């Protein structure tokens, strides 16, 4: 029994142990859960140092370049003040000095709160801009003509036009945005039959969107299950135990 087959067998046992939670929380599941959490914690510590602390703090503080060359780079020794500030977080385990753990928490929250304005606009600004689309076609042609092999001037001329099919898609987008936004109007009573109909349409469109998200999530879970079943049946059973090639 070679080493590769032993690794595959351990992986199969871990897969079966973790999926045993579908039946109930067994001791086998807890055993492999604790192993997984321990490995994840160890991997996280290494990843925090190699991907964050070393390139973004240590290398910049000591003046080391990102590619590891011997080029002289001025060190940012002011970064050393982050060490005592970070260590203050561990005073939470002291009854007498636990108040000092609020200092790094306050600094982090302050920096985080200041960045959220830019983060919010970076995330939602393009969405608001993309929802403001034209709905009146500029040509009577229904579909966008193919642009393969055309010169750049003709491609730009085609892209500058709004075709009927594009206008219909934009109308659906604008109606969806407005109806969904109308669903969240809680400041006043909806008395108009038209507004109530748009509000109801927004509710249905939200349900359709949530259903699509849920469906993609389920398909993602099934993809994981299929991958695990391929690992057990093909890689371990056929190629490992029966040793059937292909």
The one-digit pLDDT tens for each residue of the chain (246 residues) are 577 778 888 888 888 888 888 888 888 889 989 998 999 999 999 999 999 888 888 888 887 766 655 556 677 788 888 888 888 888 988 888 889 999 999 999 998 998 998 999 999 999 888 888 988 988 888 888 888 888 888 888 888 889 999 999 999 999 999 898 888 877 777 778 888 888 889 899 999 999 999 999 999 989 989 998 888 888 888 777 766 454
By residue range, what is the domain housing residue 105? 80-132
165-200: b or e for each residue (b if 16 or more CB lie within 10 Å)? Answer: ebbeebeeeeebbebbebbeeeeeebeeeeeeebbe
227 inside domain: no
Domain count for the chain, please give it. Answer: 2
43 inside domain: yes
Same domain, 91 and 34: no
Same domain, 64 and 93: no
Distance CA 176, CA 168 (A): 12
Distance CA 175, CA 168 (A): 11
Question: Which domain-ending residue is among 132, 154, 169?
Answer: 132
Question: Which domain-ending residue is among 56, 75, 94?
Answer: 75
Phi, psi of 190 (to 5 degrees): -90, 105
42 inside domain: yes
Same domain, 45 and 100: no
Q: Is the pTM of this model over 0.75?
A: no
Distance CA 174, CA 198 (A): 12
Question: Which domain-ending residue is among 75, 98, 114?
Answer: 75
Cβ-Cβ contacts under 8 Å for 178 (sequence gap 6 or more): 198
Same domain, 8 and 32: yes
Same domain, 127 and 114: yes
For position 34, what pLDDT does the model report?
92
117 inside domain: yes
Distance CA 210, CA 189 (A): 26
Same domain, 60 and 86: no
User: Taking the CB of residue 103, how many other CB atoms lie within 10 A of it?
Assistant: 14
């Amino acid at each position: 029994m070679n080493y590769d087959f032993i690794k595959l067998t351990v992986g199969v046992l871990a897969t079966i142990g973790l999926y045993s939670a579908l039946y109930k929380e067994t001791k086998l599941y807890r055993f492999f859960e604790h192993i997984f959490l321990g490995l994840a914690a160890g991997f996280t510590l290494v990843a925090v140092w190699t991907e964050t602390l070393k390139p973004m703090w240590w290398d910049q503080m000591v003046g080391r370049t990102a590619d590891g060359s011997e080029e002289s780079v001025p060190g940012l020794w002011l970064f050393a003040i982050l060490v005592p500030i970070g260590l203050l977080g561990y005073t939470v385990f002291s009854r007498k000095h636990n108040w000092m753990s609020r200092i790094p928490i306050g600094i982090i929250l302050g920096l985080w709160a200041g960045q959220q304005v830019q983060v919010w606009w970076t995330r939602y600004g393009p969405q608001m801009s993309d929802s403001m689309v034209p709905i009146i076609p500029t040509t009577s042609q229904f579909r966008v003509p193919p642009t393969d092999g055309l010169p750049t001037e003709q491609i730009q001329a085609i892209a500058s036009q709004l075709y009927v099919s594009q206008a219909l898609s934009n109308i659906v987008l604008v109606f969806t945005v407005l109806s969904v936004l109308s669903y969240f109007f809680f400041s006043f009573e909806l008395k108009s039959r038209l507004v109530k109909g748009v509000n109801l349409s927004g509710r249905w469109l939200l349900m359709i969107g949530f259903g699509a998200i849920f469906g993609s999530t389920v398909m993602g879970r099934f993809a994981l299950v299929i991958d695990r079943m391929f690992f057990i049946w093909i890689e371990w059973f056929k190629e490992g135990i029966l040793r059937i090639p292909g």
